[in-house]
Structure 1
Amino acid sequence: MTVTMWNASDVAERVVNQRPLFILDVRNEDAFADWKIESPSFEYKNVPYFDLLDGVEELVTELPKDKEILVVCAKEGSSEMVADMLSEEGVDAAVLEGGMKAWSEHLEPVKVGDLPGGALYQFVRLGKGCLSYMAISDGEAAVIDATRMSDVFVKFAEEKGAEIKYVFDTHLHADHISGGRTIAEETGAQYFLPPKDAEEVVFDYEPLKDEDTMQIGSVKLDIQAVYSPGHTIGSTSFIINDEYLLSGDILFIDSIGRPDLAGKAEDWVGDLRETLYSRYRGLSDNLMVLPAHFMDMKEVNEDGSVKRQLGKLLEENHGLNVKDENEFRRMVTENLPPQPNSHQEIRETNMGKITPDTERKREMEIGPNRCAVRG
Structure 2
Amino acid sequence: MTVKNMTIQDIAHKVLDNEELFLLDVRTEDAYQDWKIESGNFSYLNVPYFDLLDGVEEIMEQLPKNQPIAVICAKGGSSQMVAEMLVEEGLTDVYSVEGGMKAWSEHLEPRKVSDLKDGGELYQFVRLGKGCLSYMVTSGGEAAIIDAVRMTEAYTEFAEKLGVTITNVFDTHLHADHISGGRRLAETTGAVYWLPPEDAGEVVFNYQPLRDADHVQIGQSHIDIHALYSPGHTIGSTSFVVDDKFLMTGDILFIDSIGRPDLAGKAEDWVGDLRETLYTRYKELSDELIVLPAHFMIMDELNEDGTVAERLGTLFSRNHGLNITNEEEFRRMVTENLPPQPNAYQQIRETNMGKISPDHEEQREMEIGPNRCAVR
TM-based fold match above 0.5: yes
2:52 — aligned with what? Answer: 52
Partner of residue 143 from structure 2, selected from 141, 144, 149 = 141
What TM-score, normalized by structure 1, do the two folds share?
A: 0.99
Matched residue SS, 1:43: strand
How many residues of Structure 1 are paired with residues of Structure 2 in the alignment?
374
Alpha-carbon distance, 1:120 to partner: 0.2
Deviation at 1:87, TM superposition (A): 0.5
What's the offset of the Cα at 1:127?
Answer: 0.2
Gaps of 5+ in 1: none
Q: TM-score, normalised by structure 2?
A: 0.99
Partner of 2:131: 129
Q: What is the SS of the residue equivalent to 1:286?
A: coil
Counterpart residue type for residue 326 of structure 2: D
Counterpart of 1:219 in structure 2 is 221
One-letter code aligned to 1:78: S
CA–CA separation in structure 2 for the residues paired with 1:66 and 1:103: 25
Quote the sequence identity (%): 69
2:62 match: secondary structure:
coil
Q: Deviation of residue 62 (structure 1)?
A: 1.0
Q: Secondary structure of the residue that 1:256 maps to in structure 2?
A: coil
Root-mean-square deviation over aligned CA pairs? 0.6
Who is 2:236 aligned against?
Answer: 234
Structure 2 unmatched ranges of 5 or more: none
Alpha-carbon offset, residue 58 of structure 1: 1.5
Counterpart in the other structure of 1:5: 5
Equivalent position of 1:298 in the other structure:
300
TM-superposed deviation, 1:353: 0.2
User: AA paired with 1:107?
Assistant: L
2:266 alignment partner in structure 1: 264
Query: What do the CA deviations read for 1:39-84 (whole angstroms, capped 9, x no partner)?
Result: 0111110000000000001111110112211100000000000000
SS of 2:201's partner is coil
C-alpha distance in structure 1 between counterparts of 2:359 and 2:224, whole Å: 37
Give SS of 1:94's match.
strand
Aligned to 2:24: 24
Q: Aligned partners of 1:50, 1:40: CA distance in 2, in Å? A: 28
Q: In structure 2, how many angstroms separate the alpha carbons of the residues matched to 1:148 and 1:180?
A: 8
The whole-number CA distance in structure 1 between the counterparts of 2:222 and 2:120 is 12
- Pairing partner for 1:245 from 244, 247, 259: 247
1:114-139, CA deviations, whole angstroms, 9 ceiling, x for partnerless residues?
A: 11322100000000000000000111
Give the deviation of 1:2 after TM superposition.
2.1
| Misfit runs of 4+, over 6 Å | none
Contact 1:60 1:91 in 2 (8 A): no
Partner of 1:110: 111
Q: Does the 8 Å contact 1:109/1:123 carry over to 2?
A: yes
Q: Which amino acid aligns with 1:252?
A: F
Contact 1:229 1:235 in 2 (8 A): yes
